[in-house]
Amino acid sequence: MSEKKFETIAVRTQINTTEQNEHSSPLYLTSSFMFDNAEEMRAAFADETEANIYSRFSNPNVQEFANKLALLEGAEACFATASGMAAITASFLTFLKTGDHLLSCSSIFGSTHTVITKYFPKWGIEHSYFDINKPEEIEKHIRKNTKMIFVETPSNPGLDIIDLELMGKIAAKHKVLLNVDNCFATPYLQQPIKYGADIVTHSATKFIDGQGRVLGGAVAGKKELIKEVYLFCRSTGAALSPFNAWVLSKSLETLAVRMDRHCENALKLAQWLEKHAAVEAVKYPFLLSHMQNAIAKKQMRAGGGVVSFTLKGGLNAGRKFLDAVKMCSLTANLGDTRTIVSHPASTTHAKLTEDERMAVGISPGLVRISAGLEHIDDIIADVEQALNC
């Protein structure tokens, strides 16, 4: 990262301007770019110049967003994609081939689990999972053909924390790529590259957009790795739209202030939930009761914007709670200005078997709350009336 502070980089980096001297970047809503002559066009296609050719390959808005995110992550380069899943899938398929093995932590987002368990076997890519609560056993899972370790920290929705420093050391020792999904933390709270991650993936749809408007994703890391991701995506078509990139680039400008408030509200909500009689357990990385609280505090600036808790009454209590909230939104997103409640067992993780869900800490009564930017008193009031229903 440059010497400037995170907030300044987020606000002041690489704004695209034209002869109009726009203070906010103009939107380059174009599928392709023109050339003055055949030679210029040939040189661009031969990669002899950095000229934009076609928006599936590159676009100034997409480049602005990607460059800014690279700086914030402390990465050499970044390629932006149409969604978080496009980024994760590209990070797998760029570097893994038939016969390779991926070692992943067991607590991961539902669609990532689907890609690994449903599609990897079709392509002859092996996988296995390790339990993050048994870090001492991780190395035992590494095989001769292991090419990549994939981790998500904090995990969705279990909010498990993985020791990035330990993962960085293990990956370096065994010469495998370390790929970290940094969606829940964002680079404001945690920078996995500092700990030895080779690749950082993002769903920009969440806290990076922060206002529930657009889908987006990104893969950041060393220049030579991101060049490979770019070449894969350029041909396979996971390109981010210029409009979404424009929105996301502006969103990065407010990421730090938004994350501060998300984290403050989430911590207060978690502390309040811990004292409620209807609640069996609360999980939030910065609560002392969190099993990996010390690791979270070592690698994260704050605990993040998501809290999960288990209701004493199981599945029925979880669903009843969702039906009873009045202000909080029931929607399949998180990281929005608006507080969102969801029930993972019946939605995002419904495709997993009951045993698979329990293995990653998703009990039938687990509720996930993405704390928004409303006043904390109003968030707690809505949650309280729903719990008392």
**Binding of residue 230 to ligand PLP (CB under 6 A):** no
Q: Which residue is nearest to ligand PLP (CB)?
A: 84
Please say which residue, 133 or 331, places its beta carbon nearer to ligand PLP. Answer: 331
C-alpha angle with apex 294: 292 to 295, nearest 5 degrees? 65
> Cis before residue 154, ω within 30 degrees of 0?
yes
The SS3 call for residue 307 is strand
Q: Are 266 and 162 in contact (CB under 8 A)?
A: no
**116, 197, 215, 376: residue in contact with ligand PLP (rule CB under 6 A):** 215
Which is nearest to 337 in space by CA: 378, 370, 385, 381? 370
According to DSSP, the residues that pair with 370 across neighbouring strands are 306, 340
**Binding of residue 366 to ligand PLP (CB under 6 A):** no
**Binding of residue 85 to ligand PLP (CB under 6 A):** yes
Residues 193-212 close enough to bind ligand PLP by CB under 6 A: 203, 205
Q: Are 154 and 111 in contact (CB under 8 A)?
A: no
Q: Are 255 and 186 in contact (CB under 8 A)?
A: yes
Please say which residue, 60 or 154, places its beta carbon nearer to ligand PLP. Answer: 154
**Binding of residue 190 to ligand PLP (CB under 6 A):** no
Stretch that binds ligand PLP, among 62-70, 158-166, 180-188, 281-289 (CB under 6 A): 180-188
Taking the complex as a whole, the smallest distance from the CB of residue 87 to ligand PLP amounts, in Å, to 8
**Binding of residue 73 to ligand PLP (CB under 6 A):** no
**Binding of residue 183 to ligand PLP (CB under 6 A):** yes
**168, 192, 217, 303: residue in contact with ligand PLP (rule CB under 6 A):** 217
> By rule CB under 6 A, what string of x and - marks binding of each residue 252-291 to ligand PLP?
----------------------------------------
The two beta strands, 306-311 and 340-342, are: unpaired
Which is nearest to 167 in space by CA: 156, 157, 177? 177
Taking the complex as a whole, the smallest distance from the CB of residue 210 to ligand PLP amounts, in Å, to 13
In degrees to the nearest 10, what's the CA dihedral of 165, 153, 302, 184? Answer: 140
**64, 152, 160, 336: residue in contact with ligand PLP (rule CB under 6 A):** 152
**61, 91, 156, 299: residue in contact with ligand PLP (rule CB under 6 A):** 156
Q: Please report the beta strands in the chain, taking only residues with DSSP state E, as ranges in sequence order.
A: 77-81, 101-105, 126-130, 146-152, 177-181, 199-203, 217-221, 279-283, 306-311, 329-330, 340-342, 366-370
Residues lying near ligand PLP in the complex (CB under 6 A) are found at 83-85, 88, 109, 111, 152, 156, 181, 183-184, 203, 205, 215, 217
